[in-house]
Amino acid sequence: MMTRISRPVSLLAAAAVVCATLCAQSQPIVWSDREKPIVEQMRRLRSLSDAERPGATKQLALEIRQLPANSRKGTLAEHLANLATEGDPGPGVLQEVTATLAEALREKPVAADKGQPAMPYLTLAQLVRYEGMQVSLEDPQLAAAMAKLAADDKQRQAADFTLTDLKGTSWTLRNLRGQVVLVNFWATWCPPCRKEMPDLEALYQRFGKRGLVILAISDEEAGKVEPFVAEHKVGYPVLLDPGRKVNEIFRIEGIPKSFVYDRSGKLVAQAIDMRTQKQFLSMLAQAGLE
């Protein structure tokens, strides 16, 4: 939702990008005394263990919610939402994050961006549509954001592409009917992408002979991707999309993102951010692969 950063840079951002956005803008933000510790905690969030991170994320959500309406509450709430979807913090934590972002937008709405819903509303809409969160916010921009996501999913359902992997093999999505296909958008520079790759490899080794195809798509050049794949011993196909044509077909604005198609070619599950192996297993189960 959420390191999601491809080119152009998305606000679904990595911690490093959060830091850059929050701390190193052309006109640096002067944070209040109440905001400064929250910013520092957000910068350290990714360095925490998987066991520590959910609790820290929930505490941050509660602290941001207590900020006054005229603060940078919305900015902080959105960036926390973008970080919170990495992995599996649990529905309770995500619901607190969602409530904080919704409250910030209710108190201080953000103007539309050239007639399109502003990014905070898209972030909130993704939490609702893809993470199953509940929100009570009557706002035309949220409704427009929800409609945009529905349109994006419709395009992804109809999507097809042909790309070549690092070994020179050509892959066409529609030719893979009869198999379960997991399409994963990633990059070598993306920390959450790198973190989920061992789990993807484990799933490929476990389910490859039972009809699972993983197609990992990077918009980088082969000179960057090949040594990375060799070093990390990635066994599933890695495809190159240097012109970003397939990224555009799938409306990719941040990475990692994953899409699961069942054996009939139906899009049955998708992830807006890094997933754990348990979460990937749940996605594959929706395609009948257990």
Q: Is the pLDDT of residue 263 over 60?
A: yes
Each residue's pLDDT tens digit, 96-128: 999 999 999 999 999 998 889 999 999 999 999
Mean pLDDT in residue range 209-227: 97
* Between residues 2 and 268, the one the model is more confident about: 268
Q: Is the pLDDT of residue 162 over 50?
A: yes
Mean pLDDT in residue range 205-226: 97
Percentage of the residues of the chain whose pLDDT score is greater than 70: 91
Each residue's pLDDT tens digit, 173-199: 999 999 999 999 999 999 999 999 999
* Between residues 8 and 225, the one the model is more confident about: 225
CB 234 within 8 Å of CB 216: yes
Each residue's pLDDT tens digit, 7-64: 333 333 334 445 444 554 456 788 999 999 999 999 999 999 999 999 999 999 999 9
List where CATH 3.40.30.10 sits in the chain.
162-285
- Tell me which CATH code domain 162-285 carries: 3.40.30.10
- Looking at residue 105, its pLDDT comes to 96
Mean pLDDT in residue range 233-248: 96
Pairwise CA distance, residues 141 & 202, whole Å: 40
Q: Is the pLDDT of residue 130 over 70?
A: yes
> Three-class SS string for the chain?
CCCCCCCCCCCCCCHHHHHHHHHCCCCCCCCCCCCHHHHHHHHHHHHCCCCCHHHHHHHHHHHHHCCCCCCCHHHHHHHHHHHHCCCCCCHHHHHHHHHHHHHHHHHCCCCCECCECCHHHHHHHHHHHHHCCCCCCCCHHHHHHHHHHHHHHHHHHHCCCEEEECCCCEEEHHHHCCCEEEEEEECCCCHHHHHHHHHHHHHHHHHHHHCEEEEEEECCCHHHHHHHHHHHCCCCCEEECCCCHHHHHCCCCCCCEEEEECCCCCEEEEECCCCCHHHHHHHHHCCCCC
- Looking at residue 1, its pLDDT comes to 40
The four Cα atoms 201, 205, 207, 211 give a dihedral, to 10 degrees, of 100
Pairwise CA distance, residues 120 & 98, whole Å: 11
- Looking at residue 22, its pLDDT comes to 56
**What Å distances lie between residue 45 and 12, 55, 266, CA to CA?**
15, 10, 36
Mean pLDDT in residue range 208-235: 97
Each residue's pLDDT tens digit, 58-96: 999 999 999 999 899 999 999 999 999 999 999 999 999
Q: Is the pLDDT of residue 6 over 50?
A: no
- Looking at residue 70, its pLDDT comes to 87
What's the pTM? 0.89
- Looking at residue 27, its pLDDT comes to 63
